[in-house]
Amino acid sequence: MTTIRATCGACGDVELTTADVQVMISEETGEGTYSFRCPHCQDVVVKGSPRHTIDLLVSAGVRYSTWGTPAESPLDPTAPAFDYDDLLAFHAFLTDDAAVAGALDSLPH
C-alpha cells in the first residue's frame, strides 16, 4: 500500500495511507485541497495544493471529489452592501430552528 507523508501543524511529519487522505478538486482550475486526520493528535488538517500534487495523490489511489462555482445570477451592483445589521439578523435567523426548518422545506426537492 502507498505511504503518504504529510505534515500536521502540531505533530510535524506523519505517515498516512491512501485511505487516510481525501482530496477536493476545483472543476475550474484543477487545483484543490487534501485533508486528513492526524494519527497522533486527531486534528483534522486541510492543505491547499497545486495541480501536480493533487494529480499525484489521485494517481496513488486517494479518494477525491470535485467542486465548482455554483451557477448563480450575477450580483446586483445597485444592491445595498451586507452590513453588521444584516449579519445580526442572519444570526438571529439561524438560532430559530422553526424558521430554518421552514426555509429548508420551501426549497425545491
Give pLDDT tens digits for 38-86. 999 999 999 999 899 999 999 999 999 998 877 776 778 898 999 999 9
pLDDT at 1 over 80: no
Q: Is residue 48 part of a domain?
A: yes
For residue 20, being part of any structural domain is answered with yes
Q: Is the pLDDT of residue 21 over 80?
A: yes
Residue 89 lies in a domain: no
Q: Name the pLDDT band for 31 (thresholds 50, 70, 90).
A: confident
Per-residue confidence (pLDDT) for residue 69, from 0 to 100:
76
- For the beta carbon of residue 107, count every other beta carbon within 10 angstroms: 6
Tell whether 39 is covered by a domain.
yes
Identify the H or E element spanning 62. Answer: none
Its pTM surpasses 0.85: no
Give residue 61's domain range: 3-67
Quick check: is 32 in a domain? yes
The string of DSSP codes covering 28-76 is: TTS-EEEEEE-TTT--EEEEEE-HHHHHHHHHTT-EEEEE-----PPP-
- Cα–Cα–Cα angle for 27, 60, 41, rounded to 5 degrees: 90
Q: What is the pLDDT of residue 62?
A: 96
Mean pLDDT score of the chain: 92
Residue 9 pLDDT grade (very low, low, confident, very high; cuts 50, 70, 90): very high
Count how many domains the chain has.
Answer: 1
Q: Residue 94: inside a domain, yes or no?
A: no
CA-CA distance, 74 to 28, in Å (whole number)?
18
Instruction: Flag whether 35 is in a domain.
Output: yes
Q: What's the rounded Cα separation, in Å, for the pair 48 and 31? A: 8
